[in-house]
Amino acid sequence: MQADKPYLHHGTMFSYYSAKTRAYLSYKHIAFVETYDSRDLSQRIAATTHKVMIPVVETPGGEILQDTTAIIDQLETAHPARPVFPEDPVLMLVTRIIEFIMDELWVTTAMHSRWNDPRSKAFVISEFGRHIGGSAGLRGEAAMQMGEKVAAQMMSYLPRLGISEAPGQAMVENLFKKTSRLLNQAVGPTQYAFGSRPSLIDFCLFTGYYAHHYRDHGDAMDFLKSQTPDLCYYLDNLHAACSASAEGDLALSDAFITYLEAIGPVGAEFAQHTLKNAAEVVAELTPGDVCNGALGPFTLHFEDGELQRGSSTFSAWKAQRINEVYAAMEDKDQRRAQALAERIGWLAFLQQPATFKLYRDDYQIKYG
C-alpha cells in the first residue's frame, strides 16, 4: 500500500519562525518533509500568498498555509490527536501573550544577536549562500554574493528595531540575558513551560531561541550553553519533539510566573502602543480594506533605558487575539486571569480592548 503523501514544510534551520512549525509538526506526529526552493517560493507560492516568506506549509491536497499562527490553528482542527492548546483558558491566555512577545517583540533580540555579532553574522551569511544561493542554482562565490545580498536586506531592518546603535543593542542584550536566566529556572530536561508535556507555548518559546540564539555560532550561543544549561536541554527536547510524551497535566509554576513578571511588562507596553498606532491607521479605512503595513515608531521602556521601536498591523492582529481569549472567558476565569495579569503587567491591556477589529483573510490583514 502506498504511504500517505506528507505535508511539505517550506522552511530552513536558520529561519526564526520555521522553528515553531517544524517542532509542532514533529510533536504532532504529522508526516512532513522540509524543503526549500527560493525560486518556488518567489514564484508559485508567492502567487498565492502575496509574499515571499517562510515557513509555508503545503498540505497533501496542495493547500498552502502561511504564518505560523494560522498554520497551527488549521492543523489543530485537522489533526486533533496530541492537542497543543491548553484547556484552561488562563493558560491559553498566557500562551497567546508569550506567542505575541516571541513572534513580535523578542525577535528584536534575535536580530541583534545575529547581525550585531561579527561571528554570528559571518556564520549566517555562509548559511544564506549555501541554502538560498544554492537553491537558486548558484555555487561558490556567486552563492556567497547572494548570501551577502540577503544579509544586507535583513540588516536594513535594524534601525526600525532600535538596535542599530550601541544603547539599543545593550538594552535588548540585557533583556535576553536576564529573562533567559529566569527561563532556565522554569524549564529543563523533564520540565516544559506548563509541566511534563509540551503545549503551544513551548513551540512559541522554541521559536524565540532556536534559529538565532541557539544555533548561530556567536556570543548568544556561548551564553546559553555556559549560563543556561537547563534551557538548552529544553530546546534540545523540543527539537526532537516527536519523542515527547503527550501525557500529563498543565499548570503554571512559580518559576514560570517569575519569568513572566520579567518579560511581561515590556511586552504589554509593546502591545498597547501597537494597538494605539493601528487605531490611527484604520480610522482612514472602510470594512474589508487590506490593512498591511508598518506602525510606529514609539518608545519602549526597559530597565536600563528607552528604545525606539516600530511595529505593524500584523502585530496588532496578533495582539487582538490575546483580547479575544480574555473576552471569551467565564467570569470566574477572568478573575483568575486578572490576578495573574496584574502580576505580569498585562492587566491594563486586557481591560482596555481595541475599539476596532482586524482579521486575516487571503493571507492578508484586513479591517473589519
User: Are 264 and 277 found together in one domain?
Assistant: yes
Please, what's the largest Cα pairwise distance for the chain?
Answer: 63
The verdict on 267 and 149 lying in the same domain is: no
Pair 341, 209 in one domain? yes
The answer to whether residue 54 is domain-embedded is yes
Name the residue among 323, 324, 325, 317 with its Cα closest to residue 361: 317
Which residues constitute the domain of residue 138? 117-160
Contact status, residue 274 vs residue 319, Cβ threshold 8 Å: yes
Say if 42 falls within a structural domain: yes
Same domain flag for 217 and 299: yes
Cα–Cα distance measured from residue 276 to residue 281, given in angstroms and rounded to the nearest whole number: 9
Q: Is 306 in the same domain as 197?
A: yes
Assess whether 247 and 333 both reside in one domain.
yes
Q: What is the pLDDT of residue 1?
A: 30
**Residue 1 placed within a domain:** no
Do 193 and 331 belong to one domain? yes
Are residue 274 and residue 331 in the same domain, yes or no? yes
The answer to the question of residue 2 being in a domain is no
Query: What residue type is 310 in one-letter code?
Result: G
> Residue 59 is placed in which grid cell?
498540505
- If you ran DSSP here, which 8-state letter would residue 352 be given? S
Instruction: Please count the structural domains in the chain.
Output: 3
Burial grade of 34 (CB within 10 A; 0-12, 13-18, 19 or more): middle
Instruction: Specify the pLDDT at position 3.
Output: 54
E strand residue ranges, the chain = 7-10, 32-35, 56-58, 64-66, 294-302, 305-312, 358-361, 364-367
Q: Cell for 29? A: 506526529
The answer to whether residue 146 sits within a structural domain is: yes
Residue ending a domain, choose from 97, 131, 160: 160
Query: Looking at residue 4, what is its pLDDT?
Result: 81
User: CA 84 to CA 66: how far, in whole Å?
Assistant: 19
Q: Confirm whether 62 is domain-assigned.
A: yes
Let me know whether 141 and 194 are in one domain: no
Buried b (16+ CB within 10 A) or exposed e, 145-171: ebbeebbeeeeeebebbbbbeeebbeb
Task: Judge if 284 and 149 occupy the same domain.
Answer: no
Q: What is the pLDDT of residues 181-236, one digit of tens each?
A: 999 999 999 999 999 999 999 999 999 999 999 999 999 999 999 999 999 999 99
Q: Are residues 42 and 104 in the same domain?
A: no
State CA 248 to chain mean position distance: 25
**292 within domain boundaries:** yes
**Shared domain check, 277 and 156:** no
Contact 35, 10 (CB under 8 A): yes
Residues of the chain with pLDDT under 70: 1-3
| 350 falls within a domain | yes
